[in-house]
C-alpha cells in the first residue's frame, strides 16, 4: 500500500539547537564540537548527531499520527552538517509501518522505519558486563514524551552518548539502530549497554542496549585522519634538483594532495608559495616542515580561492607553475540541476578568473596544473554534479589554451588518493598521495624551464 | 539454495538498505551505477545478506565482489 512520500517537516540545524543537543545528550564527540577535528572528517564541517536527526523526524511524524511507535529501525546514510537544512518526508508502507526520510537536498541522510505494532522483545537480562549511561534529558521532543514517555526521549539521547562517547567513542560513526520503545513504563532514561560483537572486517561495532529503549546500535569506528607525508618522505622519492626550475604557487596547499604537492616540489628544489583558506594550523605545519629542510624560499599566504585578487599580488610575480587544488568537500549526492551545482563556481568560474589574472601579469610562460578526476573515465552514481563540473572545467581549459598567450593549462585526470576526504570505514583505502601524484608532477614540471 | 530465490531476497535487501523500492537488480550491476551504493552501504548490504542466509563472507571473497552477480554466486555456493 505504498503511498506517495509526504513532506512532514523542514528544519535548519542551527548552532543553537546543535549546542542544545550536545548538552541534552552528553554526546560531545569532537566531530560535533571541534571544527579542526571535523575539518578532517566526512563533510569537513561539524556534523549533526544522527539521533538528533532521528528525533526531529520522529516528532514530525508524531505530529501527524496518533499511533504509538513501538519499534524504530534507522540507517544513517550520509552526514548532515551544522547549518544545513533538512527536509523530512514520510510514506505509509503498511497499516502499521511507515518509512520516514531525512534528506539534505536530494540526498537521503537517514531512513527511519516506524512500526506501531511490534512486540517488545524482552532483552532486559542481568549481566555483569552492562555499562550505564544517563543523558541529561531534553524537553524539545514533546510529542514523543507524550506518546511514549520522557524516559524514551532520554534513553534515545543516551544512545547518542553511548556511541559517541563510550563505544566505539571518539572515532565513531553511527551506522544503524534497531530499537524497541517502551510506553510509559519507566521513569528514567538511564540506558545500559554492552558490546555484543565487533566485525573486524569492517570495524563495525554492535551494541546491545536496554532500558526505556532496547535493541541494538551499530556503529563504525572510523580510521584515523590521514597523516600528511613528511618532507623526509618527500625527499626520499624525488631527486634534490629535479624541480629546481619551478617557482610554484600551490593554491590549497595546506592539506591533502595540495600539501603533498608542495612538499614534493620543495624537496625537488622548487621555491614554493602555498596558500590556505581556513586550515591555518594545517598550513603552518606544512610550511614549518618545508622551511626546516628546504634551501629555497617558502611562503605561506591566506587566500580564498573564491575571491581571486583583483590585481596580481607580489607572490605571483615570478610564478611559472601554478597548481589549483582549491576544492570543496566532495560528497555523494543525487543532484542533477546545473543551477544548483556547488562545484561549478570554484572549478570553473573562479579558476577562469585566476587564469585571466595570471595571463594579465605574466611576462613569461606560466604553466597551470588543473586537477581533473578519473571519475570522468568511469562516471559513478551519486557524483554527477562533481563530474559535470570537472568536465566543464576541462572544456574551459581547452578554450583558455586557445585564447591565452602565456598561460598554458594542463589537465590531469587524477585517480582517487588517500586523503581525509576519501578516508572512511569499509572499502579498500585508495593509494597514498605521495606515490600517486609524483608521476603527474614530473610530467607537468618537465615542460618548465 | 536456488539462485532465483537468493536473487529475490538479495533484491529486497538492496531495496531496503538503499532505501529504493523501485530498484531492480541484475547480475552485471555495479556500485558505480547505483545511487547510494557507497562503501558504507556496501557493508550494510553484505552484513544484511549474511544475516538473511546465515553465512559469512571472507575478506578475500568480499574483495572479489565486483558486481551483484558475484555476491549472488558466492551466496549460492555457501548455501548449497
Provide ipTM, 2 decimals. Answer: 0.85
Q: Which of A111, A113, A429 to mutate to test the interface with B (most CBs of B within 10 A)?
A: A111
Whole-angstrom distance, CA of residue A167 vs CA of residue A151: 22
Closest CA–CA distance from residue B1 to any residue of chain A (Å): 26
Give pLDDT tens digits for A254-270: 888 999 999 999 999 99
So what's the pLDDT on residue A337?
57
A201 inside 8 A of chain B by CB: yes
Residue among A100, A42, A50, A57 nearest A332 (CA) = A42
Residues 6 or more apart from A310 whose CB is under 8 A from it? none
Distance from CA of B34 to the nearest CA of A (A): 6
Tell me which residue of A152, A145, A137 sits closest to A59, measured CA to CA. Answer: A145
Of the candidates A433, A190, A185, the residue with the CA atom closest to the CA atom of residue A325: A433
Q: What is the pTM of this model?
A: 0.81
Please check whether residue A324 is in contact with residue A354, taking contact to mean a CB–CB distance below 8 angstroms: yes
Q: Does the beta-carbon distance from A424 to B33 stay under 8 Å?
A: no
B63 interaction partners in chain A (CB closer than 8 Å): 428
| pLDDT at B58 (0 to 100) | 92
Please indicate whether, in this complex, the C-beta atoms of B38 and A111 are within 8 angstroms of each other.
no
Contact A109, A51 (CB under 8 A): no
Q: Is A384 on the interface with B (CB under 8 A)?
A: no
Contacts of A380 in chain B (CB under 8 A): 31-32
Q: Does B36 touch chain A (CB under 8 A)?
A: yes
Best probe of the B interface among A3, A42, A77, by most B CBs < 10 A, is A77
Could you say which of B19, B44, B63 has the minimum Cβ distance to residue A108?
B19
Q: Which residues contact B71 (CB under 8 A, 6 or more apart)?
A: B10, B45, B46, B49, B65
**A88 phi, psi to nearest 5 deg:** -115, 130
Segments of chain A scoring below 50 in pLDDT: none
> Given CB atoms, is A235 within the 8 Å cutoff of chain B?
no
pLDDT in the model for residue A69: 96
- B41 reaches A (C-beta below 8 A): yes
Burial (CB < 10 A; 0-12, 13-18, 19+), residue A51, is buried
pLDDT digits (tens, 9 = 90+) for A431-443: 889 999 999 999 9
Strands A407-414, A366-373: pairing kind? parallel
Contact between B36 and A220 using a beta-carbon 8 Å cutoff: no
| Helix (H) / strand (E) containing A36 | helix A35-38
Least Cα distance to A319 among A275, A256, A363 occurs for A363
Q: Under an 8 A CB cutoff, do B59 and A201 touch?
A: yes
From B57, which residue of chain A is nearest by alpha-carbon distance? A201
Q: What is the pLDDT of residue A11?
A: 97
Residues near A396 by Cβ (< 8 Å), separated by ≥ 6? A348, A351, A352
Read off the pLDDT band of B63 (50, 70, 90). Answer: confident
Closest residue to B41, CB basis, from A77, A204, A334:
A77
Contact A414, A436 (CB under 8 A): yes
A25/A38 Cα distance (integer angstroms): 19
- Write down the H helix ranges in A305-383: 344, 350-361
Amino acid at each position: 500500500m505504498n503511498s506517495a512520500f509526504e513532506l512532514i517537516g523542514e528544519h535548519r540545524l542551527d548552532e543553537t539547537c546543535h549546542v542544545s543537543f550536545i548538552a541534552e545528550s552528553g554526546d560531545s564527540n569532537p566531530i560535533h564540537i571541534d571544527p579542526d577535528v571535523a575539518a578532517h572528517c566526512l563533510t569537513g564541517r561539524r556534523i549533526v548527531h544522527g539521533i538528533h536527526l532521528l528525533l526531529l523526524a520522529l516528532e514530525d511524524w508524531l505530529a501527524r499520527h496518533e499511533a504509538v511507535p513501538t519499534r524504530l529501525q534507522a540507517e544513517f546514510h550520509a552526514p548532515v552538517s551544522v547549518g544545513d537544512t533538512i527536509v523530512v518526508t514520510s510514506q505509509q508502507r503498511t497499516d502499521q509501518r511507515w518509512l520516514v526520510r531525512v534528506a539534505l537536498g536530494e540526498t537521503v541522510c537517514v531512513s527511519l522505519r516506524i512500526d506501531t505494532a511490534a512486540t517488545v522483545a524482552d532483552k532486559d537480562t542481568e549481566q555483569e558486563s552492562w555499562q550505564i549511561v544517563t543523558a541529561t534529558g531534553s524537553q524539545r521532543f514533546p510529542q514523543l514524551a507524550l506518546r511514549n514517555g520522557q524516559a524514551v526521549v532520554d534513553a534515545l539521547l543516551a544512545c547518542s552518548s553511548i556511541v559517541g562517547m563510550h563505544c566505539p567513542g571518539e572515532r565513531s560513526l553511527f551506522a544503524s539502530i534497531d530499537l524497541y520503545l517502551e510506553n510509559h513504563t519507566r521513569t528514567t532514561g538511564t540506558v545500559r549497554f554492552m558490546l555484543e560483537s565487533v566485525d573486524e572486517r569492517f570495524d563495525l561495532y554492535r551494541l546491545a542496549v536496554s532500558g526505556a529503549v532496547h535493541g541494538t546500535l551499530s556503529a563504525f569506528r572510523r580510521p584515523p585522519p590521514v597523516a600528511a607525508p613528511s618532507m623526509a618522505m618527500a625527499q626520499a622519492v624525488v631527486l634534490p634538483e629535479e624541480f629546481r626550475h619551478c617557482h610554484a604557487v600551490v593554491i590549497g596547499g595546506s592539506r591533502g594532495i595540495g600539501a603533498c604537492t608542495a612538499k614534493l616540489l620543495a624537496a625537488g628544489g622548487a621555491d614554493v608559495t602555498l596558500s590556505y583558506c581556513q586550515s591555518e594550523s594545517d598550513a603552518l605545519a606544512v610550511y614549518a616542515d618545508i622551511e626546516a629542510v628546504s634551501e629555497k624560499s617558502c611562503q605561506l599566504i591566506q587566500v580564498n580561492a573564491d575571491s581571486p585578487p583583483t590585481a596580481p599580488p607580489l607572490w605571483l610575480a615570478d610564478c611559472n607553475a601554478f597548481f589549483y587544488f582549491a576544492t570543496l568537500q566532495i560528497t555523494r549526492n543525487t543532484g542533477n540541476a546545473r543551477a544548483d551545482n556547488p562545484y561549478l563556481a570554484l572549478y570553473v568560474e573562479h579558476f577562469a578568473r585566476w587564469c585571466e589574472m595570471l595571463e594579465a601579469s605574466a611576462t613569461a610562460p606560466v604553466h597551470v596544473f588543473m586537477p581533473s578526476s578519473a571519475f570522468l573515465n568511469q562516471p559513478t552514481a551519486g557524483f554527477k554534479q562533481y563530474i559535470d563540473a570537472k568536465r566543464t572545467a576541462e572544456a574551459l581549459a581547452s578554450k583558455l589554451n586557445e585564447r591565452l598567450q602565456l598561460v598554458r593549462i594542463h589537465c590531469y585526470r587524477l585517480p582517487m588518493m588517500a586523503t581525509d576526504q576519501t578516508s572512511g570505514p569499509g572499502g579498500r583505502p585508495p593509494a597514498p598521495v605521495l606515490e600517486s601524484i609524483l608521476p603527474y608532477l614530473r610530467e607537468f614540471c618537465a615542460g618548465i624551464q | 539454495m536456488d539462485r532465483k530465490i537468493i536473487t529475490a531476497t538479495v533484491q529486497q535487501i538492496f531495496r531496503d538498505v538503499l532505501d529504493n523500492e523501485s530498484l531492480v537488480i541484475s547480475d552485471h550491476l555495479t556500485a558505480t551505477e547505483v545511487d547510494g551504493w557507497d562503501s558504507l552501504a556496501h557493508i550494510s548490504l553484505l552484513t544484511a545478506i549474511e544475516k538473511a542466509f546465515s553465512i559469512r563472507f571472507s575478506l578475500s571473497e568480499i574483495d572479489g565482489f565486483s558486481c551483484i552477480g558475484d555476491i549472488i554466486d558466492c551466496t549460492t555456493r555457501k548455501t548449497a
